[in-house]
Structure 1
């Protein structure tokens, strides 16, 4: 009888784990447990009557690197190639990105000429930051904050403005707290390999490209910066569910995990709201803090480590305006913490994916990302005490009209330096049949979540053979 693997959490990480578990020649019995009424997690898309698409979570995926290649291979296997909406390298959404400082938008350099002269908001040419990196000695610390790393290698302005904004846009976090090794491992490893971050990135790591497909080859040839799906990002989750059903994977919603216990025979006993199930191995795609609350008493050192991986919430407010023209054309703009503690940035959705604008009157779609500092203000003034408003009030305040809006919140972990190593060491020493995947541990992007699931399943299947 094949072993049973219970996957807890039905977001993209959990669905990807089931996908990789079910693809093998002799797959285990797989059970997916999701607490809510739907699968897909933050891959959630709202479609209006006229065909407009609004994303509650991620709105595009980057194709670069091994993780990007693997995700595109998955998309091909799921039969979604015809639904892919690419953003090629020569597109304005690929070339034009902005910072909002001093009450104005400033285009970030996208060519060599922009690096050779001072470009606001930077007081000197960014070329000198590159020279600094090439000459600086390699770091010796096992980890450090993102701000400290970038300040040491590229200077204070790059750290205070560019990287501060980037960390807010990607993690909704403080670059002075986030770990460089956890949040930007490619930069950390590049310095370790070549002493210089720029040289390390340029010369590469020698790693294989991942699972190639016609889609990933096309993405490289056309230099895609990102891609989405015609029906929205939720289409990826729906395709995964359709893939898993005929392969015998049991998908259960409304099944919150209450407690994990080790049975005397070494298996896990999972206590649910309506009973218990047994599993030889558990793959947890829960947020770290949520997993900590269901672990057995004998794993308290692990639970303590997990509780110290906090998370922040991001309010994602989708707005649509009719008869409005953007003053600039590009991907969007980020806002450094020195400018606004609440607003993280605004994505110009209609520029990258005009296919999602719908068939109604000409319109512009934007997404405002609001961080933890502004969360209470958003809840009180935009959605009301019950949190169920539409977003029209936010549009009225800017002189536009809201054709549609979709509120949402995406958890982003604030990585504690050294936490992944301590967690992995505890799991190995205790030989726990437990795998941890998802945004709490190895990156917050869709690619990162899928990659963490693939790596964990690969290791698990090797153990089960």
Structure 2
């Protein structure tokens, strides 16, 4: 009998792990278990009655770097090349991003000319912050908050406008609590290796080998800033799901796992409500805090560490307007916490992907609300109703973009605990989890957004690495943790 590997979680990380497991040289039997009725996790696309596409989760993927190239390779392997909608480098959605500060939209400076000129909300040209940064000594601490790191190296304005907003846009989180080492490892490494962020980013950490395909070459030649799929991002997990079932993978959806126990011979017994299954190895691609509740008593130290990796909730409000125009052309804008604690930013979906506007075309924007700040709303006794989110989103669209008419279509979704927060010292949690798994030789590998990156590319990569670790190690050897 060949061995059985069970993958917990049918989001993009679990789907990617299953995909790479069955493409290995001697693939194991793979069982994918998902608690919810649908696969794809936070990636979800809804089609309106006019054919417009509304993304309830991620709305585009960056093609940059080795991880971006690997995702494009996956797209080619799945036969989805003809569905790709790219945003080329000369497109306004690639060139223009904005900050909403002081009741005004400010373009973020780009190119040398942009850096040499004063560009509000920054009082001095950003070039000077960069020059000063070259002179600063290297930080001594093993980790630091994003705010403290940015303030120390680039000054208070970059910290409170740019990095504060970036943390809200990527993590829906608070830059004064998030870790620079875990959230922006390239910035942390640049300072460690070259004593300067700018020097580090210019000199690079050495190019990691990249896969090659015609799609990857096209993305590079046309300088894509991001891409989506014609029918919406959910086409990617749906196609992965179809591929897995065609290759004999058992996919169980609507089957929440209620407990994991270790058998005397070292395999897992996985309890699913009224039934149970056995597996030689588990790849967990569910949130760390959920896994912590399922682990057996022997893994209590691991469960304790995983339970401390928290996540925040985000309300996503999709708005469509008939006959409306935006005051600016670009990808979207971010809002620093000092300007508006509840609105994280607004994405101008119609600018990047007009092909998804429907017929007749309507202007689509998405307002992101909440994150770290939702907890405060809840603590202050606010009822987190769809009506409240719709009201806040329409007010933000009216105030920040001049979209004063009521929208023709509105979708409100509250994604509970959807973005893990890598707070100060997150790297130590990963280290102790890794040490425990190695010392105890537990047949368990961790994957997903809870550990080393929340973006789609990073989740797909974590699944790939988890599969490689399982395929490349005998179960009696030390299991690798996101090697």
Q: What is the TM-score when the length of structure 1 is the normalising length?
A: 0.95
- Say if 2:313 and 2:374, in contact at 8 Å, map to a contact too: no
Give the structure 2 partner of residue 415 of structure 1.
422
Higher mean displacement: 186-195 or 340-349: 186-195
The within-5 A match list for 1:140-289 is 140-289=140-289
1:201-226 CA-to-partner distances (Å, cap 9, x unmatched) read 12222242432221111111111110
Q: Return the alpha-carbon distance in structure 1 between the equivalents of residues 321 and 473 of structure 2.
A: 54
Q: Return the alpha-carbon distance in structure 1 between the equivalents of residues 392 and 304 of structure 2.
A: 42
Give the structure 1 partner of residue 407 of structure 2.
402
The Cα shift of 1:51 comes to 1.2
1:290-309 CA-to-partner distances (Å, cap 9, x unmatched) read 11111111211111111111
The within-5 A match list for 1:218-367 is 218-360=218-360, 362-367=361-366
- Say if 2:268 and 2:278, in contact at 8 Å, map to a contact too: yes
Q: Return the alpha-carbon distance in structure 2 between the equivalents of residues 382 and 209 of structure 1.
A: 48
The within-5 A match list for 1:100-139 is 100-139=100-139
- Say if 1:341 and 1:374, in contact at 8 Å, map to a contact too: no
SS state of the match for residue 344, structure 2? strand
1:171-208 CA-to-partner distances (Å, cap 9, x unmatched) read 01011111111111111122222221112112222242
Give the structure 1 partner of residue 51 of structure 2.
51
Change (3 A) 1:394 1:337: closer
Q: Return the alpha-carbon distance in structure 2 between the equivalents of residues 352 and 371 of structure 1.
A: 24
Q: Return the alpha-carbon distance in structure 2 between the equivalents of residues 181 and 352 of structure 1.
A: 31
Change (3 A) 1:403 1:245: same
- The two structures, once aligned, show a CA RMSD in angstroms of 2.0
Give the structure 2 partner of residue 369 of structure 1.
368
Give the structure 2 partner of residue 453 of structure 1.
463
Give the structure 1 partner of residue 479 of structure 2.
none
Aligned length: 460
1:54-87 CA-to-partner distances (Å, cap 9, x unmatched) read 0110000001111101100000100010000000
The Cα shift of 1:380 comes to 4.5
Give the structure 2 partner of residue 432 of structure 1.
442
Q: Return the alpha-carbon distance in structure 2 between the equivalents of residues 374 and 442 of structure 1.
A: 24
Higher mean displacement: 101-110 or 138-147: 138-147
The Cα shift of 1:26 comes to 1.1
Gaps of 5+ in 1: none
Give the structure 1 partner of residue 65 of structure 2.
65
Change (3 A) 1:321 1:384: closer
Give the structure 2 partner of residue 383 of structure 1.
386
1:147-191 CA-to-partner distances (Å, cap 9, x unmatched) read 122122211111111000000110010111111111111111222
Q: Return the alpha-carbon distance in structure 1 between the equivalents of residues 154 and 429 of structure 2.
A: 26
Q: Return the alpha-carbon distance in structure 1 between the equivalents of residues 104 and 345 of structure 2.
A: 13
Q: Return the alpha-carbon distance in structure 2 between the equivalents of residues 108 and 149 of structure 1.
A: 20
Q: Return the alpha-carbon distance in structure 2 between the equivalents of residues 440 and 379 of structure 1.
A: 28
* Residues 1:83 and 2:83 are matched in the alignment: yes
SS state of the match for residue 72, structure 2? helix
Q: Return the alpha-carbon distance in structure 1 between the equivalents of residues 223 and 370 of structure 2.
A: 31
- Say if 1:392 and 1:401, in contact at 8 Å, map to a contact too: no
1:357-407 CA-to-partner distances (Å, cap 9, x unmatched) read 0012x421000000133576899576259xxx9x58954894323233332
Q: Return the alpha-carbon distance in structure 1 between the equivalents of residues 407 and 391 of structure 2.
A: 5
Change (3 A) 1:381 1:180: closer
- Say if 1:22 and 1:28, in contact at 8 Å, map to a contact too: yes
Q: Return the alpha-carbon distance in structure 1 between the equivalents of residues 74 and 408 of structure 2.
A: 34
Gaps of 5+ in 2: 399-403, 476-483
SS state of the match for residue 294, structure 2? coil
Q: Return the alpha-carbon distance in structure 2 between the equivalents of residues 17 and 323 of structure 1.
A: 44
The Cα shift of 1:254 comes to 1.1
SS state of the match for residue 137, structure 1? coil
Q: Return the alpha-carbon distance in structure 2 between the equivalents of residues 63 and 395 of structure 1.
A: 32
SS state of the match for residue 21, structure 2? helix
Give the structure 1 partner of residue 18 of structure 2.
18
Higher mean displacement: 439-448 or 125-134: 125-134
The Cα shift of 1:257 comes to 0.6
SS state of the match for residue 320, structure 2? strand
Q: Return the alpha-carbon distance in structure 2 between the equivalents of residues 168 and 82 of structure 1.
A: 33
